[in-house]
Amino acid sequence: MASSNDLLIKQRSVIEFLAAEGCSATKIHARMKTVYGEMCISDCAVRKSVRFFKGEDPRETILSDRKRSGRSLSASDTAHREKVDCMIRANRSVKQKEIADEVGISKERVHHIVTTVLDYRKVSARWVPRQLIVKMKLQRKDMCTQLSELSNAEGEAFLHAF
């Protein structure tokens, strides 16, 4: 299966070709919908592309995305991930703002790294890994089953034993 970027470039090619033939944006979108189905770009995007390609020389049009100005998304690279992970392991009560100031990235990037990439969650003001492996789940299930059986066997005495 083609990547989403490859699919987008293919669809832009179709739009450019059909726009050069003089097809309307509505007809182009309808034809693309039959071929690409759910993976087809929206009608609005087709209209925008048709306006862009109108008057362009098809031999000189660049279909791939051009580089844009602005800050690159380098804050989620391996070095930043490791720094954030080391800070959390050293002090589980560390705040995201403190991590952002120390590492030199935005609070939003820190939040993304901590919750999505490193898969931590905040429990009682401490960062805790959100990793329950299958073995741990089975142990918990066995313990609950044992406690349930013990409770059923002993009845009311089970609650007073602790």
The answer as to whether 107 is a domain residue is: yes
Residue 119 gets the label, from left (phi > 0), alpha (psi -120 to 50) or beta, of left
Total of domains in the chain: 2
Which band of pLDDT confidence, cut at 50, 70 and 90, is reported for residue 153? confident
The answer as to whether 143 is a domain residue is: no
The answer as to whether 39 is a domain residue is: yes
- What is the value of pTM for the model shown? 0.40
pLDDT tens track for 125-143:
676 777 777 888 888 899 9
121 phi, psi to nearest 5 deg: -140, 160
123 phi, psi to nearest 5 deg: -130, 120
The answer as to whether 140 is a domain residue is: no
CATH of the domain at 87: 1.10.10
- Shared domain for 84 and 123, answered yes or no, is yes
- Shared domain for 49 and 84, answered yes or no, is no
The answer as to whether 45 is a domain residue is: yes
Distance CA 57, CA 55 (A): 7
The answer as to whether 66 is a domain residue is: no
Say if residue 1's pLDDT is above 60: no
pLDDT tens track for 47-78:
988 888 776 666 666 666 666 666 556 666 78
Pair 32, 14: CB distance under 8 Å: yes
What pLDDT is recorded for position 123? 66
The answer as to whether 145 is a domain residue is: no
What pLDDT is recorded for position 92? 83
Domain with 29 in it: 4-53
